[in-house]
Structure formats: structure tokens, C-alpha cells
Structure 1
Amino acid sequence: MDLMGGMQKAMRRMLVARGVVSETVNVGGQAVHHYALEGQGKGPPVVLVHGLGGSANGFGRTFFGLARRFSRVLAPDLPGHGFSGEYCGGPTCVQAQFDVLRAYFEHVVRTPALVVGNSLGGAMSVNLAAEHPSLVKALALVAPAGAALTPDALAALLGHFAVKSNADVRALTKRLFHRPPWAAMLLASELRKFYTTPTVQALAADALATQASIAPQAVRELKMPVLFLWGGSERLLPPEILTWYRQHLPAHAEVHVVEGFGHVPQMERPDAFVSHLVGFADRASL
């Protein structure tokens, strides 16, 4: 029995029962699952982009709070994650994922949005804002990857995802949360499935092989409002990433180190996470 798969499907059923649309759309030649919720707010659409090994379900507890402030809430499963089919795109796996994400904005979102990117999703959101600024009304980065690291530091970071045992999964889980949920620790054997998929392993291998990072100039030249959130309990990403972004983000960017936040605050502290996004939207007059 696929216990975690069953739990993911149960969460999807719960979201659908509360009015969230769960559907598969064809973008960039790929079948991509996403959630869509019509909002009651006057703000732009908000698009939530998860990280490596994550899924749109990770943002599920934020949908309804965001819907009160924004006109629409969208959360795609990147290819090979969540309910989207396995996909990499060969040796340029990271670029292939980005191309699908860009196509999702062009063909599904279709209007400038507040883009919220976490971890790898944060790095891709920066690239989206830099290369296609017409798609991004404002940018919120939550513990984003993408900063230049030494080869050894990058290998150590990606090595956390090379889970070969339940102990490895428990160690990774401890790095993701301010206080790791006991259920996740008990279900380590099931959680291994999230990090051993062909797509996740291919993405990690591609990132390591190419030593990919965002060009500092791309970050410095961001013109839209930018929010940068870093957890006071961040244990997955090295502190050099926070330093790099502080050095290169434009002067108008808001940078906040939030106590009680780990790497995935949308899962652990969804109400506080929504509050930060809403406050940012208010200050930016979105």
C-alpha cells in the first residue's frame, strides 16, 4: 500500500471538497497538475512554486488565507512532482523544468502575478522574473536556492537529497522544519519515495554537474517589488546563500529573517506565512 500517496490524494480530496479546482493542463508539451482557487481579493493572482521533492500540496494550508487577499491562487506541481507525470528532459533537466514553468505562466496564468517560490522554486522564480518580467508583478522568495556556492558546498547540499535509508530521510526531514512533525519522522520509509523519483534524482545530478547558479546581475536588476524570507531555523540551505542574496538583491527588496520558520514555513506555519505575504502585498500596493 502506498501510504504517502494515499495521504496526498486525501488532501487533494479535502481541498476539492472546499472548492479548490484540481486539474491537469497541457503546457510546454507536458501534462502538469495544478490547483486553482478563485479569490475574493483585489490583488493579482498569486502563484506558488514548490521546491525539489515538494509539491503543490505543501501549500495547501495557505490557499484559503491567500484567497481572501488575492484574485486567484494557483499552485502547479512541477513535472515529476506531486500529481504531475515523471519528466526530466534529458541532461538539461533544470532548464527543461524552467521551460515548463514559463509555459505555465504564459498559457495558464496569463497575467502578471505575485510569484512565490520556495527553494528550487525560488531559484526558478528569480530566473522567471529576470528573463520574463512581464509575467511577474511581484516576487516573494522563501529560502530560495540559486546562489553561487563552492563545488563542495553544492555537493553537500544536494547530498542531503541522496537518501538511501530511513535514517537519511529523517535527517533530511529535520533540516526542513523548525520542529519536525512526529508523523514525518515515523513515516520515513514512505517519505523516501518523494526523494528517489527519477526526476528528483535527475534534477540534483544536473545541478551538481553544471554547478548552475543565478547571475548576480539578474538579481540586482529586478525591478518589481521583492520579498525575501529566510527562516531563523533554516538548516537545509547554507548561510552563504542568505549572504549572497543580501549582497545582490536590489535596494528596494525587503529581507526578513523570521524566527520560527524553517525551510518550508508554508507547511509548518501557514498562517504566519500568509501574513507575511499579505503584509508585503499591502506595502507594495498590489
Structure 2
Amino acid sequence: MSWLALFLLWMLANLMLAPWVFERARKEMDRTTRRKAPGGFVKLSQGMTHYQWHGRGRGPIIVMVHGLTTPSWVFQALIPGLTLMGFRVLTYDLCGRGFSDRPTGQQDEAFFLTQLEELLDVLEIDDEISLFGYSMGGAIATAYCAKHLHRVDRLMLLAPAGIIYRTGPLLKICARLGVPGGWLWDILGGWDIRRAALADQDASQIPDLHDRVTEETRTRGYLRSILSSERHMLAHTQETEHRAIAESSVAVISIWAERDTPIPLSAMGKLTEWNRTCYKYEIKGAGHGLGYTHPDDVITPLQEHLREV
């Protein structure tokens, strides 16, 4: 075998091993990393879940479910407005994000419902709750609500997935390519997510948004979780779930962004077909990060909705 052939084989081996090397170099989610975490932790069947209570007293509970790439800190700019309205707010990190564990396996609807159901059980939350879901969290909240209609009195959806969803070009390609897609995502996924966060940084009311997202992408298991959720959770359309909720007594409010690319405004019209009693609000000039770029505009329709019901 020639030296050129040996060199090419060496280069190919390095390319194939690159994702494994990159992943091993990323920070592990362990006790040392978790020392700076606010709130608390509970051991569930899928591992440790990080959660935090916000607000005082014993007001009605809102459980907030975040989206695909940003953990529970994504609600930082919204929580003060919700607590001022008298709510006690529970946030938690989905598996694979934030300070929660990064289990292997398919991150599909059953995976996320198991985490939410077990969390509520361990925290002994037996009363009716309001659910607030953002982006993929909207799909998780919808799935939980449809399965547990007797436990939810209000469903708040912020640019929710599960209706019409358009992922970014790189993640779309990687999700479709199987093993090669996983290899490509391990190489380029962190850069792709950081680039999107940087584009939102100037308009964000979370001053260190890009730094926080960068830390996520450099934590072991995070990129794998994003790709798995894209393949197994976000591929599902929730017409059946929304129609079931429409026939129940659960009040639904949906808030949409005029310039949202992943969740286009056409999704608002589709949800209207499935649930004609759903309250709908559009925030002009906002993109998909409306919860941290336009938090006051998000809180205002929630206040109006709560006064009407």
C-alpha cells in the first residue's frame, strides 16, 4: 500500500472519530457542574431533573416547559410578570438540557411525558395546574394536557410546535440522514445553535443569552439530545390532541410571533381549525425568541386573557 493510500486512510479514520473526540472533550453534567444551579434536583427514572420554584405564597401553579435548544432559563424575562399576576411558577430542565441528566434513547412524546408526570408526582402537585409551553415545550404541554385533561385548567402556548414546524436547514438534513446525519450534527450542530443565539443577542432581554447557549453546546449529551428530539418529538403533528382539548373545559391561549421562521403564522390558522375557542394573539415584529425579546408583549395578552375567563 502506498504512502498516499495510508495517509488517506489515516485522514478518513480521524474524520470518523472526530465526533467521538469532540464529545469526550465536552463538559460532563456532574455534581461539580451542578453546584451553581439554582433550585433543586429530583431523581426520576430517566435520571436527575433540575427544577426551580418562583414566586411566593400558595397561588395557582403554572408549570413552564421550554423548547428544543434553550433550558428553563429561557423563561427568565417572563417569570417576574407571571409571579406579579399571583402565580407560583415551576420551571424545570428537560432531559438533555440545562442541569438535568442526558439519558440515551429516543426523545419522543412518551419520553418527555414520563419526565413531566414523574416530576409532578415527586413534588406532590395534585391540584389543577396551568401549563405554559414554548416551542417544542408547547407540543409537550399539549400532549400532557390531552392525556390528563382533568389535571389542567389552562393551556398557554407560546409559538408552539406540533402544528406547523420548519426546522433549520442543517438540522433538517442531519435528522434525515441517519448515522451520517448524527456524525455531521456532532461536528457542526454546536456552531449552528450558537450562530442562531448570536443573531438574537442584541434584541434579547437575557443579557448573556449567547454565553448561556455556548455553554450548553459544550456540555456532553446536549447535541445528541437535540437531534433525537428533532427526529422523534418534533416530527409529530398534534391535530388529534388539540381537537380533544377543544372538546374539554380547558381554556387555551396561544401567542404567536409575526416574523417567526420555525413556527410560521400559518400555524395560528391551523390551530383555529382544530380549536375554535382558542384565544389567539400575534406579536408584531417578533421572531421565534419572543419570550426573551418581547416579554412585556407576551405578558399583556396573558393578563387580558385571565381577566376574561
CA contact (8 A) 1:184 1:191 kept: no
The question of 1:198 aligning with 2:224 is answered yes
Picking from 250, 268, 282, the partner of 2:293 is 268
The question of 1:110 aligning with 2:134 is answered no
Report the 3-state secondary structure (helix = DSSP H, G, I; strand = E; otherwise coil) of the residue aligned with 1:115: strand
State the alpha-carbon separation in 2 of the partners of residues 62 and 31 from structure 1. 25
Report the 3-state secondary structure (helix = DSSP H, G, I; strand = E; otherwise coil) of the residue aligned with 1:246: helix
Distance 1:175 1:102, change over 3 A: farther
The worse-fitting range, judged by mean Cα deviation, of 62-71 and 182-191 is: 182-191
Any idea what the Cα deviations from partners look like across 1:11-58, whole Å, max 9, x if unmatched?
x77xx5xxxxx000234453211110233585x111111011111111
The worse-fitting range, judged by mean Cα deviation, of 155-164 and 133-142 is: 155-164
The question of 1:33 aligning with 2:50 is answered yes
State the alpha-carbon separation in 1 of the partners of residues 256 and 198 from structure 2. 16
Which residue in the other structure is 2:96 paired with?
80
Which residue in the other structure is 2:269 paired with?
243
State the alpha-carbon separation in 1 of the partners of residues 48 and 257 from structure 2. 33
State the alpha-carbon separation in 1 of the partners of residues 194 and 117 from structure 2. 33
Distance 1:186 1:74, change over 3 A: closer
With normalisation by structure 2, the TM-score equals 0.71
Picking from 255, 258, 262, the partner of 1:229 is 255
Larger Rg: 2
Which residue in the other structure is 2:277 paired with?
252
Distance 1:141 1:169, change over 3 A: same
Alignment of 1:179-198 (within 5 A): 179=203, 192-193=217-218, 196-198=222-224
Which residue in the other structure is 1:54 paired with?
70
Any idea what the Cα deviations from partners look like across 1:215-261, whole Å, max 9, x if unmatched?
33335334311100001121222444333212112x32101111133
Alignment of 1:100-249 (within 5 A): 100-108=115-123, 109-147=125-163, 158-159=171-172, 162=185, 164=188, 168-169=192-193, 172-173=196-197, 179=203, 192-193=217-218, 196-207=222-233, 211-216=235-240, 217-249=243-275
AA at the equivalent of 1:100: Q
State the alpha-carbon separation in 2 of the partners of residues 255 and 87 from structure 1. 36
CA contact (8 A) 1:37 1:73 kept: yes
Count of residues paired in the alignment: 264
AA at the equivalent of 2:223: T
Which residue in the other structure is 1:283 paired with?
308
AA at the equivalent of 2:119: Y
Report the 3-state secondary structure (helix = DSSP H, G, I; strand = E; otherwise coil) of the residue aligned with 2:78: helix
Any idea what the Cα deviations from partners look like across 1:185-211, whole Å, max 9, x if unmatched?
699865644795322222123247xx4
State the alpha-carbon separation in 2 of the partners of residues 177 and 283 from structure 1. 35
AA at the equivalent of 1:212: H
Which residue in the other structure is 2:21 paired with?
none
Distance 1:237 1:175, change over 3 A: farther
With normalisation by structure 1, the TM-score equals 0.76
AA at the equivalent of 1:248: W
Distance 1:154 1:38, change over 3 A: closer
CA contact (8 A) 2:77 2:291 kept: yes
Report the 3-state secondary structure (helix = DSSP H, G, I; strand = E; otherwise coil) of the residue aligned with 1:31: strand
State the alpha-carbon separation in 2 of the partners of residues 203 and 223 from structure 1. 30
State the alpha-carbon separation in 2 of the partners of residues 60 and 102 from structure 1. 23
State the alpha-carbon separation in 1 of the partners of residues 137 and 169 from structure 2. 19
Structure 1: any 5+ residue segments left out of the alignment? 17-21
Deviation of residue 166 (structure 1)? 7.0
Which residue in the other structure is 2:112 paired with?
97
State the alpha-carbon separation in 2 of the partners of residues 157 and 232 from structure 1. 23
AA at the equivalent of 1:47: V
CA contact (8 A) 2:256 2:265 kept: no
